[in-house]
Amino acid sequence: MPSVALSDILATARVVALPLATRFRGVDVREAVLFEGPQGWSEFSPFVEYDDAEAATWLAAAIDFAWMPQPAPVREVIPVNATVPAVAAASVADVWARFDGCRTAKVKVAERGQTLADDVARVRAVREVMGPEGRIRIDANGAWNLDEAEHAIHALAEFDLEYAEQPCADVGELAELRRRVRYMGIPIAADESVRKAADPLAVARAGAADILVVKAQPLGGVRTALKVVADAGLPAVVSSALDTSVGLSMGVALAAALPDLEFDCGLGTASLLAADITDTPLRAERGRVPVGRITVDPALAERHAAADDRRDWWLARLERCHRLWQERIA
């Protein structure tokens, strides 16, 4: 990939702060940097707690999406799942109503400060609003140890789980958990063990997962993510990191280019936002989102512009990460 000057990125860069309809990952506002290249708009939005070395990979993905042609799509729409944050069971129906026509729900569990009983109540509420035909997957973000994960999966198995995503943080624990619960027929999916690992294929080589969850930004772009899936030889679910619709369109480009797409994808999270940067946000309609790029509406970007101090923080981060990215490609 050719070098792209920082000045070319800053020429169109806009820092936005979008309110969430439902608190998610401990945040009420999602911030992102949007910029436009020859191929269209792109997004740089690593979570604020990530260090510059990790965030620079997200910037590589954003630059690639803005400046380089993307792999050809093999499908025109992407089936997506609903995402249910760690809300009280009584709030599940309201969250579910934001996801039109979805047949699958990813339910967050193992939230800090909550109990397994809270998780069971939430998943039960999801099953009740979805009915018996809906698919439920749970995501613990690596918060359980091995024994906690085994106990939790037993407690939640009655709700007919499609799979359990990143129940443990450690690859060795994932492999052992997979062995322990194999008789239950509940697959193990790996997310953080792919996107945050120095070697994203280690989890596959260890036999620690049945499914890979891949995200375009954290893996460095669509082509890199496609290679990870191909080299791993496992089915993949394409997901997102609570992006704006621009960032989601990068994930959609990845899902559209995968040769096989067995599972609904986590690319409908614009429904968790109370605002977006386009008047055609990538929200689920009949359980699907269209393939294609998103154009930023200048009026919406201005309306949701980040405060000056947050804009300066993000642009300084962008500059640092750009320096690291240039060192990597030199």
Active site residues: 108, 215
| Tokens standing for residue 207 | 């036999």
- Is 260 annotated to bind a ligand? Reply is no
- What's the Cα-to-Cα distance from 185 to each of 3, 58, 158, 168, 175, rounded to whole Å? 47, 35, 12, 18, 15
- Is 165 annotated to bind a ligand? Reply is yes
Name the strand (E) or helix (H) holding 20. strand 14-24
CB 286: neighbour CB atoms within 10 A?
A: 11
- Is 191 annotated to bind a ligand? Reply is yes
Q: Are 258 and 226 in contact (CB under 8 A)?
A: yes
Q: Are 54 and 65 in contact (CB under 8 A)?
A: no
CA–CA distance, 23 with 195 (Å, rounded to integer): 23
CA–CA distance, 111 with 26 (Å, rounded to integer): 10
* Rg of the chain taking only CA atoms, in angstroms: 19
CA–CA distance, 180 with 99 (Å, rounded to integer): 34
Feature table: binding site: 139, 165, 191
What residues form the annotated binding site for Mg(2+)?
139, 165, 191
